[in-house]
Structure 1
Amino acid sequence: MIVKITDYGDEGSKKFVEYQVSGLPSNQMRFLNDDLDEITSIREDIFKIKMYFDEELYPFQSETAKVRMDDFIAREEIEMNLFLSSFLEDMGGM
């Protein structure tokens, strides 16, 4: 599974992060699409997820994040990979 952040920022009064996930079999993408509460979609072999955050939980809000954005993006991609892997374990194993 490869997780990449494709977009982030403000949408009206909300903060969001969009992720693109590749390398998943279609049954795992369908499971995530059906069972996650976030906004999700599947396009060909890519699973997309859009998450909204309260300002205090938004991962890119700090001054440090603005200076070291690449580090914060990489960390957030790793955390999403771990979250999705954990969620997929509920499917009965990966």
Structure 2
Amino acid sequence: MRVKIENYGEADGQYFIEYFVSGLSSNQLDYLHNNLSEECEIHEGMLKIKMYFDERLYPFQSDVAKIKLDDFIAREEIEMTVFLTSFLEDM
């Protein structure tokens, strides 16, 4: 499984992160798509997950994140990978 952040920011007063997840079987894709509470869609064999955050919980909001943005993006990708892996264990 590979998790990549494709987009993030603020739109219409809401902070969001869009993740693209590749390397999943069709069963895993369907399971995640049907069971995650986040906004999801399957696009060209990948799962697109869009998560919304309260401003104070948005991971890219801090001054440190603005200086070390690549580090924060990598950490978010790792955290999502761990979350999805544990979620798939219930499959």
Does the residue aligned with 2:48 lie in a helix, a strand or coil? Answer: strand
Structure 2: 5+ residue runs without aligned partners? none
Aligned position for 2:58: 58
Does the residue aligned with 1:86 lie in a helix, a strand or coil? Answer: helix
Aligned position for 1:49: 49
Deviation at 1:43, TM superposition (A): 1.6
Q: More deviation in 39-48 or 26-35? A: 39-48
Matched residues in 2 for 1:69 and 1:10: separation?
16
In the alignment of these two chains, the number of paired residues is: 91
TM-score normalised per structure 1: 0.94
Aligned position for 1:39: 39
Which amino acid counterpart does residue 34 of structure 2 have in structure 1? D
TM-score normalised per structure 2: 0.97
Matched residues in 2 for 1:56 and 1:6: separation?
21
Deviation at 1:44, TM superposition (A): 2.5
Identity %: 62
Does the residue aligned with 2:61 lie in a helix, a strand or coil? Answer: coil
Does 1:67 pair with 2:67? yes
Task: Calculate the aligned-residue CA RMSD, in Å.
Answer: 0.6
Matched residues in 2 for 1:3 and 1:44: separation?
15
Matched residues in 2 for 1:44 and 1:17: separation?
19
Cα displacement string for residues 55-82 of structure 1 (whole angstroms, at most 9, x for unaligned residues)? 1111100000001000000000000000
Runs of 4+ in structure 1 displaced over 6 angstroms? none
